[in-house]
Structure 1
Amino acid sequence: MADVAMHSRIEEHPDIQAMRLRAAEISAQPSAQATEGLTLLTGLYLAISPWVIGFNGNPLAVSNLVTGIALAVLALGFGSVFERTFGMGWAAAAIGAWAIIAPWVIQHATTTTGTIASNTATGAVAVVLGLMTTAMAMARGRS
């Protein structure tokens, strides 16, 4: 069996400070900060899009509101505690994928071309930003 040191608490792990320092370095980079900010704005737009596009009052509006708030809260986590949330980039990508397919999954008579275009564009941006966050986390693990 491999020679593995056992620690009773994570704070006692010898590399914990190095891991936290690396996470702080990544979150201080302009690209990471831009990704966090754009993810926050994407989530806020997704949440208010039913009122901007004019499809409030149907199930898709509720879905956009809930997933938009979730994406914005996730982005706040990226910005404030990156060392604990960097692995959640996949969740932002999943929210974006849901935003893309939601107009067809939540079939409603008031789904319009504008609704579909708004959700598709916003979802695509969320997917790209989520994948960027995941890539930063993977780069963090490699160094």
Structure 2
Amino acid sequence: MSNVSHARSDLSGHPDASEMRARYDRVMGGRDVALVDAPVFLVGLYCAVSPWVLHFTASQPALVTHNLVMGIAVAVLALGFTVMPERMYGLSWAICAMGAWIIVSTWVVGSSPDTGVVINNIIVGGLTVLLGMVCAGAAARTHRT
């Protein structure tokens, strides 16, 4: 019987190792914040479903539509960050602006919102601003180098 098991060897001796390393660097494009895309997406999804989670669909119908649209927009931008990072990270500041609007819109769009609605939108908006700033900082750092 022949021995079909292959001994594991180090790839550093592979003739295409430098080419594979260069291709990997080119594909990743120096992205430091690949882990930020998922939290931005999750914050967007939570913003979209928060009216039903906190049960303010009957008392604040305008805010329901607003949170749904803003949440979907944030989630779509997060998907864009994942699919086309080199093109989309210029829109990181838009995420910050959307987060600030989510905070302020509680009083602009809503009509005398409850404390739970206010706290929810402040937390969601604050997280959106924070994650947008992380993405914007990483984009600025990538373009500088």
TM-score range, shorter chain: 0.7 to 0.9
- Within a 5 Å distance, the mapping from 1:1-143 to structure 2 comes to 21=26, 24-26=29-31, 29=32, 32-57=33-58, 58-109=61-112, 111-143=113-145
> Is the 2:89–2:139 Cα contact (8 Å) retained in structure 1?
yes
TM-score normalized by structure 2? 0.77
The answer to which of 124-133 and 49-58 deviates more is 49-58
TM-score normalized by structure 1? 0.78
Identical residues among aligned pairs (%): 38
Gaps of 5+ in 1: 1-19
Gaps of 5+ in 2: 1-24
Measured in 1, the distance between the counterparts of 2:88 and 2:111 equals 35
1:105 shift after superposition: 0.6
Amino acid at match of 2:26: L
Q: How many residues align?
A: 119
Runs of 4+ that moved beyond 2 A: 20-25
1:56 shift after superposition: 1.3
> Is the 1:89–1:134 Cα contact (8 Å) retained in structure 2?
yes
Closer/same/farther in 2, CA of residues 35 and 138 from structure 1, 3 Å limit: same
Aligned-CA RMSD value: 1.6
1:23 shift after superposition: 6.0
Q: When you count helix as a share of all residues, which structure comes out higher?
A: 1
Closer/same/farther in 2, CA of residues 76 and 43 from structure 1, 3 Å limit: same
